[in-house]
Structure 1
């Protein structure tokens, strides 16, 4: 009992009564969960055979063979002619060794004591919540690898977007911080149907400061119920998976979709034990201590169909601030 004065207590205290009340609880919250907008914005291609092959035209650099600006053999075409000239003859050659993207894998084993699931699931399904949070972590790793996977130093195995960008599609900032001029230069690289920029939140803030300095505040657009800034009508999407090292980071710009010869996500759905698309959960068994183990797996990768679909703005300084007085 709780006494708040010299007078004897005349009724049940709220603190004591609370012991008999039903507390309203939330589901377990996760601070590390992000919107994962890259995974939402990428078109996903079903890879039923486990490997995705990107067939391209052959690129041959010879003095005798006329080529287009991308190094591909010209397709000879006759146009604007009169009379009966001989029509040109041509063919389109393909790369003999096209790049193949085997699906990568992310896995973990979740352990849950059967006693926990049996005794403490009357309000919250303990096993379900453990699985939900673990899958969230798996999807966070998926987005991180799609951006940063470096093939453990082997460029032939790297599929992360930062490592997949062609050298000709990489530019550096002009002065350090990301300026409207830098974004325009990147748009000049990825000028065919650009879909979105991808940048660290601090890089977006740095870009906003540069826009404020120049008096050109960027417009905003609603995506998935939230406002995001745009530049030249192209959304600037945040992701904390882009690394920041010593105040420097990178910004990506991409075209997406198979039809646009852009960047596509690769996955396999319909696997055994699938709980959400592309993620399977399999019960591995229960040991002699009563602990159940679950194998959680997802298969994925990402492919850039042609080099000009992906551009990178490098050496982006996020530490510059201005006095606007």
Structure 2
């Protein structure tokens, strides 16, 4: 992934008193690239995790909404040292509702100072890069089941991580010229005739599933199911 930052010399000359303008532009650009990186690692058609799971590691929900039984089935696929579930925040909320309805509210755990829901001791990590396919409105049974017809379908991933555990690993190129952090470099490209400086920002990344049983996917997860408590 590459992009170019262009900054006029007047900007750095006049507005560097409170903030280093180049540093701030680089920070914002790198943050945007990291967001894109997260999306690509999940969704890329070649190496994205949603497409990397083999058919035997893909299961569907029993009835649509994600239930404790569904996550137990997923754990039965990735049963060797599962690290975490990865799901859209709406999918995690839907799972919480199903647990509440059954009287088994999932416990929480603090990770980096923030609370996360867990199931069977495995945390559910939210990511809004996991896509929600808004096709549920076309399901004729949606209204009859108390479902929000504007909601949609998504997936929940479960993975084992780390090279030593033969799990899911991130790949990056290190030792680049102008490297700022592993896999990310910034190179000065010069100043044009209009006094605009250009900087090339490059981010190399990929992901790999070292063994087939390291990644499981729960498909067909409905996120718009609600219950009336009387």
Q: Which has the higher contact order (CA 8 A, sep 6+)?
A: 2
State the match for 1:310 in structure 2.
Answer: 215
Larger Rg: 1
Task: Identify the match of residue 149 of structure 1 among 44, 62, 80.
Answer: 44
Aligned to 2:2: 107
For 2:229 and 2:12, locate their aligned partners in 1 and report how far apart those are by CA, in whole Å: 58
> Using the alignment, how far apart are the partners of 2:69 and 2:191 within structure 1?
60
Structure 1 portions without partners, runs of 5+: 1-105, 151-157
2:185 pairs with one of 268, 280, 283: 280
Question: Structure 2: how far apart are the matches of 1:134 and 1:276?
Answer: 14
Q: Distance in 2 between matches of 1:119 and 1:171?
A: 58
2:17 aligns with 122
Tell me if the contact between 2:209 and 2:215 (Cα under 8 Å) persists in the aligned partners.
yes
Q: Measure, in 2, the Cα distance between the counterparts of 1:135 and 1:260.
A: 30
List, as ranges, runs of 4+ consecutive aligned residues in structure 1 with deviation greater than 3 Å: none
Choose the corresponding residue for 2:84, options 160, 177, 196. 196
Is 1:164 aligned with 2:52? yes
Distance 1:226 1:262 in 2: 25
1:250-265 to 2 correspondence within 5 Å? 250-265=155-170
The answer on 1:213 being equivalent to 2:101 is: yes
Kindly state the Cα deviation for residue 270 of structure 1 after the two structures are TM-superposed: 2.2
Equivalent residue of 1:147, what SS? helix
CA distance in 2, matches of 1:262, 1:123: 45
**Structure 1 residue 274 displacement after superposition:** 1.1
TM-score where L is the length of structure 1:
0.65
Q: Secondary structure at the match of 2:32?
A: helix
Shift of 1:321: 0.5
CA contact (8 A) 2:172 2:182 kept: no
Q: Aligned-pair RMSD on alpha carbons? A: 0.7
More helix by share: 2
